[in-house]
Chains A and B, each alone.
Chain A
């Protein structure tokens, strides 16, 4: 799965630690998400969408589609 987390975070001038604090996860988890090597659960994906105030489908996309 692809995502725009890094772009969205950079657009807000947040560090990985800032985003991690907002999501209630570790910085390592944010890094794993941004590199696309860890796909979040649905609850975490919804939380990410709320933090960035965007629909999930504008943040995540299916790499196989």
Chain B
């Protein structure tokens, strides 16, 4: 049997490393926010800097991972980004507004907690939508 040469790179390993780097950067930024977030303007500047560094590292890690994907895998992610994230954003926004107005006076807490909670809700639903759309893309092409 004639076998073509070359060993395919392990995409799961690359994905794991990329995800690990992003999670580590986010964790460090979170720890910085927890440690310095209450220190007034200086704390806010430190948190902003730490978050910017974490996001830069995360994006760099994602770009390395992205360049290693083949074209079909990239297409699946682009499709998932558009359809999954768009529907996720729509559903998450409806959920957020419904929750805010349904809760009425029952919604209490620190303003920053409420703000971050709302952002996390929408981002979480977007992520779920992305994952579902990505899985649908591949399932349709099995």
Answer yes or no: do A and B interact.
yes
Binding site for B on A (CB under 8 A): 12-14, 17-22, 24-29, 31-33, 35, 37-38, 40-41, 44, 51
Q: Whose C-beta in chain A lies nearest to the C-beta of B75?
A: A38
Task: Give 14 pairs: A residue, B residue, CB < 8 Å, sorted on A.
Answer: A14-B1, A21-B4, A21-B5, A21-B7, A21-B8, A22-B4, A22-B5, A24-B6, A25-B72, A26-B73, A27-B8, A29-B71, A31-B142, A32-B141
B1 touching A26, Cβ below 8 Å: no
- B67 on the interface (CB 8 Å rule)? no
Residues on the A chain within 8 Å of B1, using CB = 12-14
A37 touching B141, Cβ below 8 Å: yes
What's the Cα separation between A29 and B138 when bound, in Å? 9
8 A-B pairs besides A31-B141, A35-B142 with CB distance below 8 A are: A14-B4, A17-B8, A25-B72, A26-B11, A27-B8, A28-B73, A29-B70, A29-B72
Residues on the B chain within 8 Å of A35, using CB = 141-142
Majority-rule SS of B interface residues: loop
B residues 73-126 with Cβ under 8 Å of A? 73, 75
Residues on the B chain within 8 Å of A40, using CB = 71
What's the Cα separation between A33 and B72 when bound, in Å? 9
Residues on the B chain within 8 Å of A21, using CB = 4-8
- B140 on the interface (CB 8 Å rule)? yes
Q: How far in angstroms is the closest Cβ of chain B from A41?
A: 5
Residues on the B chain within 8 Å of A44, using CB = 71
Residues on the A chain within 8 Å of B3, using CB = 14, 18
Q: Mark B1-36, 1 if CB is under 8 A from A, else 0.
A: 111111110010000000000000000000000000
> Which 9 residue pairs across A and B have the least CB separation, nearest first?
A22-B4, A25-B70, A32-B141, A29-B72, A37-B141, A21-B6, A13-B1, A21-B8, A29-B70
Q: How far in angstroms is the closest Cβ of chain B from A22?
A: 3
Residues on the B chain within 8 Å of A20, using CB = 8
Residues on the B chain within 8 Å of A28, using CB = 72-73, 138, 141
